[in-house]
Structure 1
Amino acid sequence: MEGKKSETASCGRDLNYVANIESSLQSISQQGFDFLCVPIVHPRFEREFVLTLPPRPGPLTRSDMCLSSSDWTVFVVGKLSPWINLDSDVPGVRTNSEKAFMEEMKYAVHLSLPAIMMKLKTIKCVNFARCVYQLLNTRMCASIWIQVPMMSPKNCTDYINTVKDEEQAEDTWEWWNIFRSLCDNHKMLGLALEVSKDLPPENELDRWLGEPIKVGILSTDIFLLNKKGYPVLPKAHQVFITKLFKLNIQLVLTGSSRVDKGIHSYKLYLDHLYQLREADNGEDEFCKGYEDYLQCPLQPLMDNLESQTYEVFEKDPVKYSQYQKAIYEALLDRVSQDEAATKISVVMVVGAGRGPLVKASLKAAQDAQRLIRVYAIEKNPNAVVTLRNLQLEEWGNDVTVVSCDMRKWQAPEKADIMVSELLGSFGDNELSPECLDGAQSFLKHDGISIPCSYTSYVVPISSPKLHADLTSTEIKQKGNENFYEMLYVVRLKNVHFLSDVQPCFTFVHPKKDIPTNNERFCCLKFPVTTNSTVHGFAGFFDAVLYNQINISIAPANYSKGMFSWFPVYIPIKNPFYVKNGQDITFNIWRVVTEAKVWYEWAVSTPTVSHVHNIYGQSQWIGL
């Protein structure tokens, strides 16, 4: 049963009215749907609390005993009555709506529904958001799904009358942005996005993908008929729905069947689309559970890594293959065919860990038919145990193991090739520049460093989820705000890039002019093409190992299948709103002292932030 579920899209059926909820559940289950979206109260059952009319006789809604508690908890999503208008200009209507809202919410909590869906119809939503926020701050367990249209209906007169700015009036993301901001981006608040028949421009579509979407709502009106009379989505919608699948988002089908094949044929098509999505690879399997999960970066120079950490990264199928190619090319360039049988190249692996780069060096030499003598330098005494066992059992005299900090080692000879994997997710954030500067003393004047250069990259992002996680941490730590001024390693998923990625800091090895300072400053200007909220910046790196052989986590030239590094998240303490056409100016410093290295950063347009992590007060990397 579980295997079957993994091959089908999780999809609910939206109905405006059901006479018998038990039979309706059985029916949608037979049609392949996983849950039912149904009004908590009959759509025509309006209640009067503030007028002098006699109360309506009979029960408020159906009995909770018509389903078992487990069925209510798993298979039913409640919908708020559409007549409730919490932002009415008429005081009596607003007050009456508030009382009806609380009545329905209390009954939904009584039923233990997993989620409650409410429709956002206008940008005028302050009191609506207030009532929802009040609810979210109680002990209720249900999620709140705010149903928002992807595009504003042209005939939405109530909305147009409340907004003067026509451009803003058409942008329903503005409705959602105001609503969720009023609710302080509460973690139990999700977006139920109504996919429109005519899709907006790509940059606006991608902006929605950075929001906390829980479900995508598809109307049967969107579907076309193929030659055999089956429903299919237009190409553009297929692409967008596939992107939703990558975010593990559920779907909800609304509207009546428009084909002879019945409503089941729509679900079959969505399952087919789900099965056509890009198959999981080793990278996806490795990253499962780490999506949008904030982690502090490793500090391998200051801390000794554990065996499990080494083991995880040694499984990377791409990194060591690229390193082996680079060493192979370097050996061929270093030693001609005529000298192959007599000339020995000295290869020094600095920061050898448990030996994967040593193995790559030996294999590259074997493939290139070149002679090498390898030194494996490692400061972690625990990893050195592994290296010496490998030397005893496999490598023999081909490898010399050195237990020492590479910056302090007195090498017996100079190296032809120096190999290292000291790169962090932001390129230099694990202090590769400082380490390789120290090790450069035992590299020949014409020696080769692998990698020979690396560059960090930055882009502004919108990600309510990442920032909400920091807010949650602040609350748990009783107001400790240091968490907003630290870099995090994170597998980015529910994120929207607001501009093109730009290069930041570059380091080259070996350095020709010694000593040179590893401090850096960079000011980057990012043009924005759609209204958005900025929650921080994403950081990446790419590295040239040798000649044209590189490894990269930067989006433009990403090394597909490589999972040794996740991007970094650089938060902004106070998220800010940015308009289409404005520029975001980002300033970042790399500061170096004798004892430590840290980053400081600030925004200077379109708003001005304070300088984050001043003097490394929240985060630094020890030398």
Structure 2
Amino acid sequence: MSSISAGRDLFCTPDITECVRKAIDSGFTFIVAPLVHPRYYRNDAAGVTKQRDDPLTRSDMLLSTNDWGTVVVGKLSPWICLHSAFDSARKNAEKVLLEELDYAVHLSLAAVEVPLKSADCANLARGVNEFLNSRISNMTIWVKVPMMTLSSQMEDAVAEGDEDSRSEHPWEWWNRFRTLCNNNKRVGIALELSADLPESDEIDQWYSEPVKALYVPTKIFLTNRKGFPVLSPAHQAVVRKFYKLEAQPVVTGACHYKSKGMKVYQQYLNYLHETMAALDPLEEYAKGYEDYLQNPLQPLMDNLESMTYETFEKDPVKYTMYHKAIYEALLDRVGDDEAETVTTVVMVVGAGRGPLVRATLQAGEKARRLVRVYAIEKNVNAVVTLRNMKREEWHDQVTVVSCDMRHWQAPEKADILVSELLGSFGDNELSPECLDGAQTFLKADGISIPCQYTSYLAPLSSAKLHSDLAIPVASKDPLANYETSYVVQIRNGKVLDAPQPCFTFSHPNWASTINNDRYKRFTFQIDQKSMLHGFSGYFETILYKNTMLSTVPATHSKGMFSWFPIYFPIKEPMYLDGTSPLEVHFWRRRTRTKVWYEWAIVRPRTTPIHNVGGRSHSIGL
């Protein structure tokens, strides 16, 4: 595992070249340094700055442009106060803020730290937002926020007249600031740890936010028996969790191990990174795709590529459970006394490249039952693979059919119908419509595998996912991104309440009239102040009897990676105050040619219905 990128926070840098050298020698990859000497107070309003001939700060020629952009993060003068009650002080602070940010752009810095000390941040947000919208630059803003409010900070805030900060959690300061900045993607968090950690729910709240850096004060380190700095187990868990979100640790404060130097802090933080638990199969599979929005597959409309089939066929769990379900169904279908005389007809619909055909044949061998298999597949490219498998391995035991399962005229009825048509939301790849058509060639007492599946929905907070939707697509309406569902492995997000069952489908469905439209009303109780950015979707399926597969977090089939969750965004992030219930309405709608979802919130605030009539996104039949 590669070394962690760690920073060293410095209060003052008399010789920036020497400070950079010492930090690099200690194993750090960058420093956080003042743009201007912290004691250099300027008062433009009084003309003090103009009367002084000395330079504003050090020369930009002390480092190369590449070094400024890669090894230095700037920070503002600590005395800048944009919420001062005095007009002259406030106006001066506004000028100085823009002056220092402008100089940071001149230096090509990648980021600048902006401290957030209280809930009174409207004018600071306005100043930062003005800068972000007026300068063409890739520079990001690190809003420095404490993970929990310290008594000293409370005293400062109250002394400055901000009584509201006494009761507000720092997350609310941040939430107010980023909302005022219109959720600008160039605004992230530099989160500062403290000796005391807040409740677990409050810590979890930060995991759904864009934390770019994690400030680790030297004063919170303990000393182990060998005389080296270590963190408490609770702090270790927090740091490792933020490592997974790719937050960079920044050591701040004085060195308490003079003989060993700052290097021991960097080495310990790197040790925490190197000793993180090994990735499970799902994390390994999703590596590099975390929080990456993808359009769901539409197998009915599009032919899947060989690479897609190959990826899903590597799942270590799914086909094992299918094998188990088919094995049990074969035993139930044919008793031991008929094992050598009765042949079970198994039809694999949507056979792909044949993994379920192999599972069926292997289950037949294990159960010592005779089976005859039909492999039905509409993708003519996958049919090439099936026919090669038949010629080289399966022979007369398998009949390959190149056809849409809904239109095939079967020569005989099936005892068992096997399919893997489920999407991330269960029914979103149109398994109900496909199996309703395919069941015409299933015997009246036949078995469908799967026999039932239920989608689940949960409220989700993820500023990362929602901000990624702000990128317009030239061929789409600007709102279309927020009315489309996405498949995504959610890492930088928090599920705000336990997922609840949504839509259930059972097969075979022998109802005289089949209607796959659905409607569901949810009430979620979220006890913590949060921002809602949409909903995450999952599913559970019963393959046969007690054999199940699940993507629901609480019951997830361990090691299975065939499905990521689905994400249904909302147009505008919604603030939840932690007291009012969240009432959500969800629909599955269809016409002769397409299926789509619609969703809306009724409480605590009513939103328009998203994706009315499938105007932005639908699944083609």
Q: Which band: TM-score by shorter chain?
A: over 0.9
What is the match of residue 381 of structure 2?
Answer: 382
Kindly indicate whether residue 57 of structure 2 is the aligned counterpart of residue 61 of structure 1.
yes
Over 3 Å counting, the alpha-carbon distance change for 1:97 and 1:246 in structure 2 is: same
What is the match of residue 12 of structure 2?
Answer: 17
Q: Say if 1:124 and 1:162, in contact at 8 Å, map to a contact too.
A: no
What is the match of residue 153 of structure 1?
Answer: 150
What is the match of residue 85 of structure 1?
Answer: 81
Over 3 Å counting, the alpha-carbon distance change for 1:504 and 1:479 in structure 2 is: closer
Q: Counterparts of 1:160-309 in structure 2 under 5 Å? A: 160=158, 162-163=161-162, 165=164, 169-259=167-257, 261-309=260-308
Q: Counterparts of 1:99-138 in structure 2 under 5 Å? A: 99-137=95-133, 138=135
Alpha-carbon distance, 1:341 to partner? 2.6
Amino acid aligned to 1:89: A
Q: Say if 1:376 and 1:399, in contact at 8 Å, map to a contact too.
A: yes
Q: Say if 1:190 and 1:212, in contact at 8 Å, map to a contact too.
A: yes
What is the match of residue 557 of structure 1?
Answer: 555
Kindly indicate whether residue 3 of structure 2 is the aligned counterpart of residue 8 of structure 1.
yes
For residue 118 of structure 1, give the secondary structure of its aligned residue in structure 2: strand
What is the match of residue 3 of structure 1?
Answer: none
Alpha-carbon distance, 1:196 to partner? 2.2
Distance 1:409 1:515 in 2: 21
Distance 1:80 1:88 in 2: 17
Q: Say if 2:119 and 2:164, in contact at 8 Å, map to a contact too.
A: no
Alpha-carbon distance, 1:61 to partner? 1.2
Amino acid aligned to 1:332: L
Amino acid aligned to 2:346: V
Q: Say if 2:11 and 2:34, in contact at 8 Å, map to a contact too.
A: yes
Q: Say if 2:146 and 2:194, in contact at 8 Å, map to a contact too.
A: yes
Alpha-carbon distance, 1:561 to partner? 2.7
For residue 551 of structure 1, give the secondary structure of its aligned residue in structure 2: strand
Amino acid aligned to 2:137: M
Q: Say if 1:119 and 1:148, in contact at 8 Å, map to a contact too.
A: yes
Alpha-carbon distance, 1:568 to partner? 0.9
Distance 1:133 1:522 in 2: 40
Q: Counterparts of 1:462-501 in structure 2 under 5 Å? A: 462-473=461-472, 480-501=478-499
Amino acid aligned to 2:454: T
Name structure 2 gaps, 5 residues minimum.
none
Amino acid aligned to 1:521: Y
> Any idea what the Cα deviations from partners look like across 1:535-581, whole Å, max 9, x if unmatched?
11111112111222222211011123322211111111122111112
Q: Say if 1:457 and 1:541, in contact at 8 Å, map to a contact too.
A: yes
Amino acid aligned to 2:148: M
Q: Say if 1:47 and 1:56, in contact at 8 Å, map to a contact too.
A: no
Alpha-carbon distance, 1:479 to partner? 5.6
Distance 2:261 2:245 in 1: 28
What is the match of residue 41 of structure 2?
Answer: 46
Q: Say if 2:157 and 2:163, in contact at 8 Å, map to a contact too.
A: no
Name structure 1 gaps, 5 residues minimum.
1-5
Distance 1:188 1:478 in 2: 24
Distance 1:102 1:351 in 2: 61
Distance 1:276 1:310 in 2: 34
For residue 523 of structure 2, give the secondary structure of its aligned residue in structure 1: strand
What is the match of residue 140 of structure 1?
Answer: 137
Kindly indicate whether residue 90 of structure 2 is the aligned counterpart of residue 94 of structure 1.
yes
Question: RMSD between aligned alpha carbons?
Answer: 1.8
Alpha-carbon distance, 1:381 to partner? 1.9
> Any idea what the Cα deviations from partners look like across 1:296-335, whole Å, max 9, x if unmatched?
2111112222223222222222222221222122222223
Distance 1:477 1:350 in 2: 35
For residue 601 of structure 2, give the secondary structure of its aligned residue in structure 1: strand
Task: Identify which of 61, 75, 79 aligns with 2:71.
Answer: 75
Q: Say if 1:455 and 1:543, in contact at 8 Å, map to a contact too.
A: yes
Distance 1:177 1:612 in 2: 24
Q: Say if 2:346 and 2:417, in contact at 8 Å, map to a contact too.
A: yes
Distance 2:47 2:76 in 1: 24
Q: Say if 1:7 and 1:271, in contact at 8 Å, map to a contact too.
A: no
Distance 1:472 1:621 in 2: 23
Over 3 Å counting, the alpha-carbon distance change for 1:479 and 1:616 in structure 2 is: closer
Amino acid aligned to 1:100: V
Q: Say if 2:118 and 2:162, in contact at 8 Å, map to a contact too.
A: no
Distance 2:304 2:370 in 1: 32
Q: Say if 2:32 and 2:72, in contact at 8 Å, map to a contact too.
A: yes
Alpha-carbon distance, 1:177 to partner? 0.6
Amino acid aligned to 1:154: S
Over 3 Å counting, the alpha-carbon distance change for 1:52 and 1:189 in structure 2 is: closer
Identity of aligned residues (%): 54
For residue 44 of structure 2, give the secondary structure of its aligned residue in structure 1: coil
Distance 1:8 1:52 in 2: 49
Distance 1:94 1:528 in 2: 38
Deviates more, 1:418-427 or 1:88-97: 88-97
What is the match of residue 453 of structure 1?
Answer: 452
With the length of structure 1 as denominator, give the TM-score of the two structures: 0.95
> Any idea what the Cα deviations from partners look like across 1:42-70, whole Å, max 9, x if unmatched?
11111121114463342211111212222
Distance 1:69 1:141 in 2: 15
Deviates more, 1:441-450 or 1:597-606: 441-450
Over 3 Å counting, the alpha-carbon distance change for 1:477 and 1:383 in structure 2 is: closer
For residue 611 of structure 1, give the secondary structure of its aligned residue in structure 2: coil
Q: Say if 1:281 and 1:561, in contact at 8 Å, map to a contact too.
A: yes
For residue 445 of structure 1, give the secondary structure of its aligned residue in structure 2: strand
Over 3 Å counting, the alpha-carbon distance change for 1:433 and 1:136 in structure 2 is: same
Deviates more, 1:364-373 or 1:136-145: 364-373
Q: Say if 1:151 and 1:170, in contact at 8 Å, map to a contact too.
A: no
Deviates more, 1:77-86 or 1:147-156: 147-156
> Any idea what the Cα deviations from partners look like across 1:81-118, whole Å, max 9, x if unmatched?
11111221111111211221122112211111111111
Q: Say if 2:119 and 2:165, in contact at 8 Å, map to a contact too.
A: no
Amino acid aligned to 1:30: D
Alpha-carbon distance, 1:166 to partner? 6.8
With the length of structure 2 as denominator, give the TM-score of the two structures: 0.96
Amino acid aligned to 1:400: T
Distance 1:69 1:147 in 2: 25
For residue 274 of structure 1, give the secondary structure of its aligned residue in structure 2: helix
Distance 2:455 2:521 in 1: 13
Distance 1:265 1:374 in 2: 64
Distance 1:164 1:255 in 2: 28
Q: Counterparts of 1:404-483 in structure 2 under 5 Å? A: 404-473=403-472, 480-483=478-481
> Any idea what the Cα deviations from partners look like across 1:398-456, whole Å, max 9, x if unmatched?
10011111112221222121110100100001110111111112222222211111111
Distance 2:551 2:434 in 1: 22
Over 3 Å counting, the alpha-carbon distance change for 1:604 and 1:558 in structure 2 is: same
Task: Identify which of 25, 28, 33 aligns with 2:28.
Answer: 33
Deviates more, 1:257-266 or 1:484-493: 257-266
